Structure 1
Amino acid sequence: MPTPVSALIHAATMVTAGVYLLMRSSPLLEYSPTVLLLALWIGAITTLFAGTIGLFQNDLKKVIAYSTCSQLGMLFIAVGLSQYNVALFHLVNHAFFKALLFLGAGSIIHAMADEQDMRRLGGLVKLLPFSYAMMLIGSLSLAAMPFLTGFYSKDLIIELAFGQFEFSGQVVYWLAVISAIFTMTYSIRLLFLTFLSAPNGAKINYEHSHEGPLTMAIPLIILAIMSIIFGYYARDFFVGLGSSSLAHSLFVHPNHIISVEAEFAVPTILKLLPVVASVLVGLTVLAIYQLAPSLLVSITKTKTGSSIYAFFNQRYWLELIVNKFIVLKGLSLGYVFNKQLDRGAIELIGPYGVVTGLSSVSGLISKLDTGIITNYALYILLGLISFISLVFFAPIDPQGESIKAAQYSQLFILYIFALTAF
């Protein structure tokens, strides 16, 4: 899929349409605590599930795509907490830095002869400094670094989860913190393998690498600026305390308002924990990649490490399970329906059957044309007898009584006489 299309559907339109529908359905959701709890847990599981998968992907676009799934989990968490304005805020913020990441990936792929395996890139920081700057801004905003756009919404969602002061909110808070750490980890991994590591690609790709034209650079610059400043300037409009800008579009039950508690009752250490933990883990990962890159390779070469890597790289084996037990079974069932029903019974009574039947009947009728005059006389006599039988031997007489057996026998005798006469 072309990266501009990925930027459009992953950042702002298709994949976020479901969350937008939930926001617009807030008057219904607010009176269904079960649905809100379900959305909360689905969001927490999704953000952690996609984060662990993205950490073990090697395709440049797959890493960004699974980060989209992780951020959708964050949006579901906000919906499950009845914080629809925060969810909308993060949806808009996510559109800027995710579109920036996808278009930045497109710039790299364009420069490196359509190569998008991060293991075959590296050393591009000097060759593609503009693309590196764009990817750095997008990745840091995605990882919710302070004072960037993603920080003002993503960090607030995690804070609100704890501010709910319920068991589900407490558990979801810690799952979201772990997911935020994974986000920083695979963002650092993407930047290091693509730009900071030693060159690992074909020499000819590096010789012909180049930054994109101005038409590619302008959208990246606009998105980078919005990924830096939009969250700060738009926060009061979306999530400001007492703001009524979205009051006519989103409904929150008074019992579900938790923004004040999250602001003043959550300990400061828990508010700072996602950012601090993400920075510390990110620096640790960067140091390992820079100082001891062979350590990670040696871990993946062990039997346990290889199994763990394959498990997460293959998406928890879910695709294998789905393909083997659902897709293949479905294809087999579809083949049976296609052969037995679509190309069998339906065709026999459909257009194909009608055409075939008419052709067969016309072929049989054409065989009656023998050129023998006595046969034609027989046809005429049989036709005359049939006409007489229709006129004089009606199945129902005027009094409503059935035709008698004697009349049938007379008609049968006439046919036998005609056939034997010729």
Structure 2
Amino acid sequence: MMVIAVGLSSYNVALFHLINHAFFVEALLFLGAGAVIHAVSDNQDQIKYGGLRVFLPLSYSVMLIASLSLVAFPFMTGFYSKDFILESAFGQFYFSSIVVYFIATIGAIFTTLYSVKVLYLTFLANPHGPLINYKQAHEGDIFISLPLITLAIFSIFFGYITKDIYIGLGSSFFADNSLFIHPSHEIMIATEFAVLTIFKLLPFISTIFFSVLALVLSEFFPNLLLAFKFTRFGYNIWGFFNQRFLVELFYNKYIIAFVLKLGGQTTKIIDKGGIELIGPFGLEKGLLNLSKNIAKLDTGIITSYALYILIGLIIYILIYTLST
């Protein structure tokens, strides 16, 4: 979303979303995930979670707050920047920006689905983990809980408190610093007053609809999901999404393989070859050869030593003569 805002030349909105995003994703969701992992004896297999809402009420509360803010639920911190970016994309009224709006809205739907999946599998579903994990499940101490509570408060209120500073109409917060937006790229007025209400509400409607759909299917119709998954079409769809749209397959097969091969050849030819030859390995071999050749001068014959002394004297006289 931040990259979309930068592409729209709405740098203040991008910065606003970056700061908001830091509270509920980079901080709260990750710390909350760490608190859950710590509580269940460092088990990181989410399939072996479930039913932890009773055992970890604080972790469930902060993860719920972070997820609601992530999916831009109204009046949460993420709502004030994420939805504004979507509206700004539509508010340019170019074909390309409208396409970006719909693509970003679809992306927001997937964000909603995986957020609901995290909450459902971890806290709401039937327990699937070892009994010992549930017996030992506990909230973290004050050093874990206090940051979670603080970040949860920011994930609720920060967007509302600071929205007029960052994206308020006529705000002069960035007037005297380097964050400059050319007047021809200013789209806030069109975003605020020209975008139809249906397109402002579409992300919210999609969020609510797909959240309810995911919960209902997971809780009341799991057999329907399994039956669909085992059909040929469902299996292909599941495989496509499970393999990250086949991006990782393409990436590992064509890019990673090429990079590893290139790196191997670079190490073999340049690092192990040229650099070591003129570096430590070559220096070592050169000094050894030089010392062996110098050692050969030690013949034990006095006339040879006298010759060496004479050659040294002649070289010294020549150097002295040339320097003067």
TM range (shorter): 0.7 to 0.9
Structure 1 residues 347 and 253, CA gap change in structure 2 (3 angstroms): closer
Is 1:75 aligned to 2:2, yes or no? yes
Is 1:202 aligned to 2:130, yes or no? yes
CA distance in 1, matches of 2:123, 2:313: 98
Q: List gaps (5 residues or longer) in structure 2.
A: 319-324
Amino acid at match of 2:32: G
Q: List gaps (5 residues or longer) in structure 1.
A: 1-73, 395-422
CA distance in 2, matches of 1:100, 1:205: 23
Aligned match of 2:78: 150
CA distance in 1, matches of 2:312, 2:102: 92
SS of the residue 1:246 aligns to: coil
Give 1:307 shift.
Answer: 3.1
CA distance in 1, matches of 2:175, 2:315: 81
Q: How many residues align?
A: 315
Output aligned runs, 1:125-140, within 5 Å.
Answer: 125-140=53-68
Aligned match of 2:211: 282
CA distance in 1, matches of 2:154, 2:309: 93
Structure 1 residues 312 and 390, CA gap change in structure 2 (3 angstroms): same
Output aligned runs, 1:11-410, within 5 Å.
Answer: 74-98=1-25, 99-249=27-177, 250-367=179-296, 369=298, 376-377=302-303, 379=304
SS of the residue 2:44 aligns to: coil
Give 1:389 shift.
Answer: 9.8
Give 1:367 shift.
Answer: 4.7
**CA displacement, residues 219-239 of structure 1 (integer Å, 9 cap, x when unaligned):** 111111111112112111111
Structure 1 residues 170 and 384, CA gap change in structure 2 (3 angstroms): closer
Give 1:364 shift.
Answer: 4.4
Give 1:311 shift.
Answer: 2.7
Structure 1 residues 262 and 127, CA gap change in structure 2 (3 angstroms): same
TM-score (norm 2): 0.88
Give 1:370 shift.
Answer: 5.6
Larger Rg: 1
CA distance in 1, matches of 2:309, 2:214: 100
**CA displacement, residues 240-279 of structure 1 (integer Å, 9 cap, x when unaligned):** 1111112223212222222112222211122111101210
Amino acid at match of 2:20: N
Aligned match of 1:400: none
Q: CA RMSD in A?
A: 2.5
Amino acid at match of 1:212: G
SS of the residue 2:206 aligns to: helix
**CA displacement, residues 176-209 of structure 1 (integer Å, 9 cap, x when unaligned):** 2212222211111111111111111111111111
Give 1:385 shift.
Answer: 9.1
**CA displacement, residues 343-391 of structure 1 (integer Å, 9 cap, x when unaligned):** 33433333432332332343344356565xxx554x3586599689989
Structure 1 residues 204 and 251, CA gap change in structure 2 (3 angstroms): same
Give 1:213 shift.
Answer: 1.1
Amino acid at match of 1:349: I
Moved over 6 A (4+): 384-391
CA distance in 1, matches of 2:155, 2:315: 89
CA distance in 1, matches of 2:310, 2:100: 90
Structure 1 residues 286 and 380, CA gap change in structure 2 (3 angstroms): closer
CA distance in 1, matches of 2:87, 2:103: 12
Moved more, 299-308 or 252-261: 299-308
Moved more, 293-302 or 171-180: 293-302
SS of the residue 2:289 aligns to: helix
Which protein has greater RCO, CA pairs closer than 8 Å, 6+ apart? 2
CA distance in 2, matches of 1:202, 1:208: 10
Amino acid at match of 1:75: M
Structure 1 residues 124 and 254, CA gap change in structure 2 (3 angstroms): same
Structure 1 residues 105 and 351, CA gap change in structure 2 (3 angstroms): closer
CA distance in 2, matches of 1:384, 1:160: 89
SS of the residue 2:202 aligns to: helix
CA distance in 2, matches of 1:300, 1:216: 39
CA distance in 1, matches of 2:169, 2:132: 56
Aligned residues: percent identity?
A: 52
